Structure 1
Amino acid sequence: MQRCDSPRRLSAPRLGAWSLAFALAAALSAPQVLAQQVPFGLGNVRNFPEAAVRGKLTVVSTVDAELNGNAIRMAPGMRLFSPQNSLVMLHTVMGQSFKVNYVIEPSTGMLLTAWILTEAEAAQPRPAK
């Protein structure tokens, strides 16, 4: 019975060609990913729910906050959105205050969602509590 001497390996020129091909494919796909991001502030408007009201939010911890000077618990699924409409991790903004539109979960009274406002959004009239 005859067996193969050793497993087939890529030679150095072939390995270099494959590396170049993968690098080229990665470089060509990157602009498509970047083109999908939509910057806010260039005429794009976020639509807030009718139930959203205006207030000042201070994040005390990842579960506690102050809303217009009153202590409030944040819901387990609480979402805080940046002015660019991306999610903000609560531990990164502890101790900071923001002008926000927010929604309270009706059955528990916990803070469910808040959007940090841009200057243009803050200038638009909205009910406050």
Structure 2
Amino acid sequence: MPAGRSLRRSASPRFLKPLLALSLGTALWLGATGARAQPIRVIPVDAPQAKLVVAAPSAGAPQTVTLDGKTVGAAPGLRVFGTDNQLQNMAAIAGQKLPVRYKLDLYGQLLTAWVLSEQEQKALKAKS
């Protein structure tokens, strides 16, 4: 910066007002779109409902899960989506009894499960 110029004088007011308006507008727009954004859950209509219990992972045995008391294997690409549609860690949900809708692979192993929220459970009960 040349000698004799202060930082205050280098930023012209004619540039600050549009910059401030632009940044404020961007912040408001991001806040508004973030508040409206709801995760969209696409659960197949033919996915059955059950209570899922994931067995604790073991180094020497394949991963197993229980669906309504029936033990089935876990597919190598098993995905369990939480109520917020985020993938769940198998070790974190092990031992919990979770209401889910699920899909099995061709070999009868659990491939995908969606943990149901209370609202989704009520909606399923209302349908039946």
Shorter-chain TM-score range: 0.5 to 0.7
- SS of structure 1 residue aligned to 2:99: strand
Q: Distance in 1 between matches of 2:95 and 2:80?
A: 14
Aligned to 1:124: 123
Matches within 5 A, 1:99-110: 99-105=99-105, 107-110=106-109
Aligned to 1:10: none
Q: Distance in 1 between matches of 2:120 and 2:110?
A: 20
**How far off is 1:93 after superposition?**
1.1
- SS of structure 2 residue aligned to 1:122: helix
The correspondence for 1:57, drawn from 52, 55, 68, is: 52
Say which structure is richer in helix.
Answer: 2
CA RMSD of aligned residues (A): 2.8
Q: Distance in 2 between matches of 1:52 and 1:36?
A: 30
Q: Distance in 2 between matches of 1:85 and 1:51?
A: 19
Deviation track 1:90-122 (CA, whole Å, cap 9, x = no partner) reads 0111111100010111x2000000011100001
**How far off is 1:45 after superposition?**
5.1
Matches within 5 A, 1:12-31: none
Q: Distance in 2 between matches of 1:122 and 1:104?
A: 20
What's the % identity of the aligned pairs? 30
Aligned to 1:88: 88
Q: Distance in 1 between matches of 2:66 and 2:54?
A: 6
Aligned positions, number: 93
Consecutive aligned runs of 4 or more in structure 1 exceeding 4 Å deviation = 35-40
- SS of structure 2 residue aligned to 1:124: helix
**How far off is 1:51 after superposition?**
2.6
**Alignment CA distance shift 1:125-1:91 (3 Å):** same
The correspondence for 1:46, drawn from 41, 47, 60, is: 41
- SS of structure 2 residue aligned to 1:123: helix
Aligned to 1:115: 114
